[in-house]
Amino acid sequence: MHGQAMKRREFVTLLSGAAAWPLVARAQTPVKLRTIGFLVSGAPASHGAWFAALAERLRELGWIENRNIKIEYRWAEGRPERYTEFAAEFVRLNVDVIVALGAGPVLAAKQATTVIPIVFPASGDPVGTGLVESLKRPGGNVTGLSLQQAELGAKRIELLREVLPDLHRLAILANLSNPVNQVELGELQGTAQILKLETALLDIRRAEDLAPAFESLKGADALYVIADPLLNTNRVRINTLALTARLPTMFSFRENVESGGLMSYGPNWVDLFRRAAEFVDRILRGAKPADIPIEQPTNFSLVINLTTARVLGLTLPADLLPLAEVVE
């Protein structure tokens, strides 16, 4: 009897083990990872923190790298010719979403595919540059956040004049191969004309153009740098050249001030990238880019580098400092 009981237990154990096999097999079936392609105009040093904020927000929304999503990074490092190459690579990889920053990368992605959804965390003029049909209904496969940088130009000049009451000649650093920059330049020159400021334009198409541009610059009171992937990637060099020339600088991004620039005024870029993650989340859950309206920034900040102000011998207005985030 004892032997029969043993055999019965062994048989039951064998049965329960067999019943468990399909469960084990199912548990070991790998989850298909959704793939997101990050087409980055700059380098990890210049743009990495912003894309890290996007990935962090995706994690908060339940999209965890190497668990249910895979992120493919492609760094153009300020070389526009790489945008097309990387966009084509993402199409070959058949990624689920492309995140691209700046008109050049987004246009390259849009030319490469009309099917894969594309999200831009920031674009100066998405309607004017042909990225979308309208802000309310983008149409096509592209959506994201619009900066409307041109509209902020007048505000930045006004802030410069508060710090430099004797501002007469303003140098403008721009990459005019970027069509969005031409829109902002027009706004700046119009504002300068109203305020009776002289402007000197420095057109930078390659990093090698920077040093000669500064050497040619004489008599300017301040430097306004129009945001651009090439110029942002080379921000440390620009700040070094500007400090050597004793030129107060105005930028769009806080990161430029953290690397030695005097001032910046514009949207909070970490906030923009976190909001872009919410667009990606909606698309991965089935929403169509054509139906997701373009959003505007809501969080703007003035940032001032106090060390740079001291080096330049500037006395900052007492009423301006309480409105600013300061960098030492």
pLDDT digits (tens, 9 = 90+) for 164-201: 999 999 999 999 988 778 888 988 999 999 999 999 99
Model confidence at 11, pLDDT cuts 50, 70, 90, reads very low
CB 43 within 8 A of CB 75: yes
With tokens 């970027």, the residue in question is: 178
pLDDT digits (tens, 9 = 90+) for 259-274: 999 999 998 888 999 9
CB 37 within 8 A of CB 98: yes
Give the CATH class of 149-267+301-327. alpha beta
Q: Is the pLDDT of residue 18 over 70?
A: no
Q: What is the structure's pLDDT at 78?
A: 78
Model confidence at 315, pLDDT cuts 50, 70, 90, reads very high
CATH number for the region 34-148+268-299 comes to: 3.40.50.2300
Q: Which of 184, 180, 170 is nearest to 247 (CA)?
A: 170
Model confidence at 104, pLDDT cuts 50, 70, 90, reads confident
- Structural domain boundaries of the chain? 34-148+268-299, 149-267+301-327
Give the pTM: 0.72
Q: Hey, do 34-148+268-299 and 149-267+301-327 end up sharing a CATH topology, with the first three levels equal?
A: yes
**What does the pLDDT average to over 271-297?**
95
